[in-house]
Structure 1
Amino acid sequence: MRPAPGEVLHFSEDPTITRFVPHVAATSTEPTPYVWAVDRRNAPSYWFPRQCPRAMAWVGRRTTDADRDRIIGAGCGDRVHAIEYAWLDAMRTTTLYAYRLPAGPFEPISSPGAQPHAMVATEPVTPLVPPEPVGNLIDCHAAAGIQLRLLDNLWPFWDEVIASTVGHSGIRLRNAQVRPASAGR
């Protein structure tokens, strides 16, 4: 599920939203009220139940061959998403909806020196069409050629990812299992 040209997407488990109004998200470090959405490149990061912790890694411009093989896996494509076994049933059973929004009011947002991780609007936005069910979230990953890796605990993998040269993003990591005493930090 990706946006068409001139669109961005908002993913939600709620199929009843008729208008998106800027707000400060409870988890946001941004003090400005926004409507949040994603572009084509960032859409796969949201093919998950909303609260599911996920560690994602991909090959970037500065990724070494050694890190690609170690983190992504030799011959395994350019991207891996990891979740914990505890979230597998939710991945199988959650109905996720995609809202198609007009791209016009949205601007990219990013951390300094990083690629944009989302699109934000500061005005209310009405969906272009009713929300569409995304479908089987595991199948979305497979169709996009993205590995979906199941782990007992995300932290050892995440520690390796952030110490490497691969691009990465972690979402809802506060919902992950407790960090093992033997793992990193």
Structure 2
Amino acid sequence: MRPEPGQVLHFSEDPTITRFVPHVAATARQPDAYVWAVDYGRAPDYWFPRRCPRAMAWVRDTTTDADRDRVIGPGCGDRVHAIEYGWLEAMRTTRLYAYRLPADVFRPFGENEPYAHVATEPVVPLGPAEPVGDLIACHAAAGIQLRVLDNLWPYWDAVIASSVSFSGIRLRNAKPRPQ
């Protein structure tokens, strides 16, 4: 599930939203109220149950061959998403929906490498929520490795110490770091 040209997406487990109103998320690092959405490249970051912790890594121009092999894996494509075993059943059973939103009311958000798009005014979806479908199949169809780990922290520590690009979402919901 990706946006078409002129669109961004908002993913939700609620298929009944008819209007998105800017708000300050409980976990926000900024004080401004926004409607949040993602573009084509970042849509896969949200092919998960909302609360699912995930560590994501992908190759960029400055990624070393050693880091590519160590973090992504030799011959394994350009992108990896990792979750914990405790979230696998939710990945299999969660019903996720995508809302198509008009891109022209959004602006990129994030410094060097924008990771989202935000709007500061209410936004009406371009149509009803669309089921995303099988979240594991979405990853497979996009050629994204989906790793299932006992604990995310050892992998996350290797990712952030490497030359790959990365994103960690809902990591506060991961199991505690191993001792």
- TM class by shorter chain equals over 0.9
CA distance in 2, matches of 1:73, 1:161: 12
In the alignment, which residue of structure 2 is the partner of 1:130?
128
Q: TM-score, normalised by structure 1?
A: 0.96
CA-to-aligned-CA distance 1:78-136 (integer Å, 9 cap, x gap): 0000000000000000000000000011000003xx21000000000000010000000
Q: Which amino acid aligns with 1:97?
A: Y
CA distance in 2, matches of 1:22, 1:104: 16
What SS class does the counterpart of residue 71 from structure 2 fall into?
A: helix
Q: TM-score, normalised by structure 2?
A: 0.99
Q: Which amino acid aligns with 1:106?
A: F
CA distance in 2, matches of 1:6, 1:140: 22
TM-superposed CA distance for 1:28, in Å, is 1.0
Alignment: residue pair count: 179
In the alignment, which residue of structure 1 is the partner of 2:52?
52
What SS class does the counterpart of residue 124 from structure 1 fall into?
A: coil
CA distance in 2, matches of 1:70, 1:9: 32
CA distance in 2, matches of 1:58, 1:28: 24
Q: Which amino acid aligns with 2:66?
A: A
5 Å-filtered alignment, 1:46-125, equals 46-111=46-111, 114-125=112-123
Q: Which amino acid aligns with 2:89?
A: D
CA distance in 2, matches of 1:100, 1:40: 11
Q: Which amino acid aligns with 2:84?
A: E
TM-superposed CA distance for 1:23, in Å, is 0.2
What SS class does the counterpart of residue 138 from structure 2 fall into?
A: helix
Residue 3, structure 1, aligned to residue 3, structure 2: yes
TM-superposed CA distance for 1:61, in Å, is 1.4
TM-superposed CA distance for 1:30, in Å, is 1.4
What SS class does the counterpart of residue 31 from structure 1 fall into?
A: coil
CA RMSD after TM alignment: 0.5
Percent identity of paired positions between Structure 1 and Structure 2: 75
CA distance in 2, matches of 1:30, 1:105: 20
What SS class does the counterpart of residue 61 from structure 1 fall into?
A: coil
CA-to-aligned-CA distance 1:19-52 (integer Å, 9 cap, x gap): 0000001111011000000000100000000000
**Gapped regions of structure 2 (runs ≥ 5):** none
CA distance in 1, matches of 2:108, 2:85: 33
In the alignment, which residue of structure 2 is the partner of 1:173?
171
What SS class does the counterpart of residue 104 from structure 1 fall into?
A: helix
What SS class does the counterpart of residue 159 from structure 1 fall into?
A: helix
What SS class does the counterpart of residue 81 from structure 2 fall into?
A: strand
**Large movers: runs of 4+ above 3 Å:** none
